[in-house]
Every structure is written in structure tokens, then in C-alpha cells.
Amino acid sequence: MKLVLDTNIVLDLWVFRDQSADSLRESIANREVTWITTAAMREELACVLAYEQMIPRMKAADLSAQQVLETFDRHAKVVDAPSAAVVKCRDADDQKFVDLAVAHDATLLSKDAQVLALRRKLSVAKTFSAPQPR
């Protein structure tokens, strides 16, 4: 099974260590699923990790941005950015996740309302809600 994870899901997995994501974290770590991503998605994560509000969260988790990015690199399979999908997301920042999921017939995990609103429109990609925010 191929997965596309939006940035909030990545944060839940590797920064916030959300317990409701334990089985997903384990599946990724054990390579039971293939997490696919693009360079742009990694860049977005790096930017988010540098946000001022993330600093206390990272300190509380005893993590650095570099450690999170190393975990990303260890577990994610970077692929080329695909062509734009026919399905369009109202949030342009989230379109890259939709494009990748459609291009690779992958399951897109997101908590983003704009992405979740596309469930019925996505005929190839399977979009599911991940654990709800704390």
C-alpha cells in the first residue's frame, strides 16, 4: 500500500508522537506500507519545523528539526513531482498532496478540511481522515 502524508500527519507521527498514530508509525517504520513524497513536501516540512510556535513543541519532544528531517529521509520514498491532477483542491498549498496521491494511486492521509472535502471527487486516490487534533 502506498501512502501520501500531509505535513500535519508527519508532525503527528514524528514530532507530537500522537498515540492514535502509533499503528501508522509502526507500519511505516516496518515498511509494511510505502510512504511516498516529493522534495517540495520535504521543503514544506522544513519550513513548518522552523515556525516560532514549533520551537517549544520540538523542545518538549527533545527533538531538533534536523532529527525530524532525518526521520523523514529514512522512512519516506522521494519521487518526482507529478503532473497536476484533474481534481483540484481549494487550498493551493495542499494540491501537491492530491496530485501525488492521484498519480500513484495512493492513499492520502490528511486532517485538512479542504483535502477531506475532495473524498468524493477523488476516483483514483483514496483519501482518509487521520487522527483528530488534540
d(CA 8, CA 111): 7
3-state secondary structure of 16: coil
CA pair distance 84, 69, nearest whole angstrom: 26
13-17, 57-61, 92-96, 115-119: least confidently modelled range: 115-119
pLDDT at position 123 over 60: no
17-68 per-position pLDDT tens digit: 999 999 999 999 999 999 999 999 999 999 999 999 999 999 999 999 999 9
pLDDT for 119:
66
Q: How far, rounded to the nearest angstrom, does the alpha carbon of residue 9 sit from its chain's CA centroid?
A: 5
Higher pLDDT, 60 or 111: 60
Torsion of CA 32, 88, 85, 26, to 10 degrees: -10
Give dist(CA 43, CA 125) in Å, integer: 23
Q: Are 102 and 122 in contact (CB under 8 A)?
A: yes
Given this model, what pLDDT does residue 133 score? Answer: 44
d(CA 103, CA 93): 17
Taking 90 as the threshold, does the pLDDT of residue 121 lie above it? no
pLDDT mean across residues, the chain: 86
Domains of the chain: 2-129 (3.40.50.1010)
